[in-house]
Amino acid sequence: MRGLVWLLPWLLVAEVRILTDFPNASAGQVTQVSPLHFRVGVKGQADQDGRNRQANWYFFRVSGVPKGAEILIDLVDLPGEYNYQPNRGAVTKDTRPYWKEGKKGGWQEARGDYDPAEPRWRLRFRPKKGEFLVAHIPPYTQANLRMLRKETQPVVEQIGRSVGGRPIELWTFDRSGGNKAAPVVWLMLRQHAWEAGTSWAGEGLLRKLGTGIVWKVLPWCDPDGVAEGGVRFNKFGYDLNRNWDAPNDAALRPEILAQKAAIEDWLKEGKKVDFFLTLHNTETGEYLEGPADSTLGQSLYSKLKEETLFDPDRPYLSRMAVERTGRANVIQWLWKTHQVPAFLMELRIAASPRRQARPTAESWREFGAQLAGQIAAALLAK
Ligand SMILES: [Zn+2]
């Protein structure tokens, strides 16, 4: 009899599920501690040599929580490595997880505590309808991108395919009005799959592209990674913002090859690139980097700092020298090989010290729109 009484609560909650059966989803090992307490590993991803493990993309659905019950989820397996240096993980006290209930609800920060000892996040949820989503930051998926393409109507070229056979597209918005001397801007978004914030910013940017400029956009640089819930490497473990100076390899790194060829074909036709920018996310850093003596980079940095949501944590910086062959990022390679004025911007996902708030899909879009305006102003003032 005692056994049956003990079993009853188990039966009532036996249907709790942690699910990753949808695009962009990811979770590692799941362990049930008690009926309403689960440990969910962050899957993480390592590079082609099994190094540089980064564990900062998780996106899963929890279903079957009994009405009115609280469920505990511990996010674990966080430690990793960045540029060969071990760390406690990219998921920290500064990056409280997000959750979302129902189709219409927005993403909100979850309740819970970070324990640096393990390290882990212990999250507490009391879903109204027994079901909810959890993610590192508000996801931006292929479905979002499809809607953006429909809305903004770019000229679309398929420039290649990913390892997994997914198309890689180049979008063109020719707003030059037929002016052959119009400035040309190249933008690169989502080189790293986890960095959904760059897609939210990109969306705001593409909705506000100024006239007098030709805009070339690589909107989705790691289609496999986003679809499959990856972090920063392609299917063979190659970091898509390193390896730009590694040998061209259509089998191992088709994504980089396609993007490189698209830019080089443009240059070979005698066309120019006045400004190249790749957008990234970090946990707590925010900055702009590019060629050391670039007045364009320095003035854009100042304008962004003064007039937009950009809240840099360091001055304009330059790291255009490649530390080790095979580790060049896209801007180092473009600058060294083609003298293209190429820039990289990092946008933090933790709270901005100036705003005392974490970015949201809306604030990223707002910043993207501001960025479009500042890029256009800088180039048209030249
Ligand atoms: Zn990145």
CA 229 to ligand 1 center in whole angstroms: 15
CA 198 to ligand 1 center in whole angstroms: 9
Domain 142-380, CATH among 3.90.960.10, 1.20.1260.10, 3.20.20.60, 3.40.630.10: 3.40.630.10
Name the strand (E) or helix (H) holding 37.
strand 37-41
CA 246 to chain centre: 23
This prediction's pTM: 0.94
Distance CA 142, CA 145 (A): 5
Predicted local confidence at residue 1, as pLDDT: 46
Burial of 103 (0-12, 13-18, 19+ CB in 10 A): exposed
Angle at 243 between CA 240 and CA 244, to 5 degrees: 90
Q: Is 108 helix (H, G, I), strand (E, B) or coil?
A: strand
Q: Packing angle between helix 330-338 and helix 254-268, nearest 10 degrees?
A: 30
Predicted local confidence at residue 102, as pLDDT: 82
Distance CA 314, CA 151 (A): 36
Which residues have CB atoms below 5 A from the ion given as ligand 1? 192, 280
Predicted local confidence at residue 13, as pLDDT: 47
> According to CATH, what is the number of the domain 13-135?
2.60.40.3120
Predicted confidence pLDDT, tens digits, the chain (382 residues): 455 555 555 555 458 999 999 999 999 999 999 999 999 999 999 999 999 999 999 999 999 999 889 999 999 999 999 889 998 888 999 999 999 998 888 999 999 999 999 999 999 999 999 999 999 999 999 999 999 999 999 999 999 999 999 999 999 999 999 999 999 999 999 999 999 999 999 999 999 999 999 999 999 999 999 999 999 999 999 999 999 999 999 999 999 999 999 999 999 999 999 999 999 999 999 999 999 999 999 999 999 999 999 999 999 999 999 988 999 999 999 999 999 999 999 999 999 999 999 999 999 999 999 999 999 999 998 6
Predicted local confidence at residue 88, as pLDDT: 85
Distance CA 32, CA 41 (A): 12
Asked if 86 and 74 count as a contact pair (C-beta separation under 8 A), the reply is no
CA 167 to ligand 1 center in whole angstroms: 20
Burial of 303 (0-12, 13-18, 19+ CB in 10 A): middle
Parse the chain into domains and list their residue ranges: 13-135, 142-380
CA 279 to ligand 1 center in whole angstroms: 7
CA 191 to ligand 1 center in whole angstroms: 6
CA 330 to ligand 1 center in whole angstroms: 11
Asked if 380 and 212 count as a contact pair (C-beta separation under 8 A), the reply is yes
Distance CA 37, CA 44 (A): 22
The sign of the CA dihedral 379, 210, 352, 233 is negative
Q: What is the chain's Cα-based Rg?
A: 22
Asked if 65 and 36 count as a contact pair (C-beta separation under 8 A), the reply is yes
Distance CA 206, CA 295 (A): 25
The tokens for 103 are 């189709």
Asked if 331 and 317 count as a contact pair (C-beta separation under 8 A), the reply is no
Quickly count: other Cβ atoms within 10 Å of residue 268's Cβ.
9
CA 195 to ligand 1 center in whole angstroms: 6
CA 61 to chain centre: 20
CA 282 to ligand 1 center in whole angstroms: 7
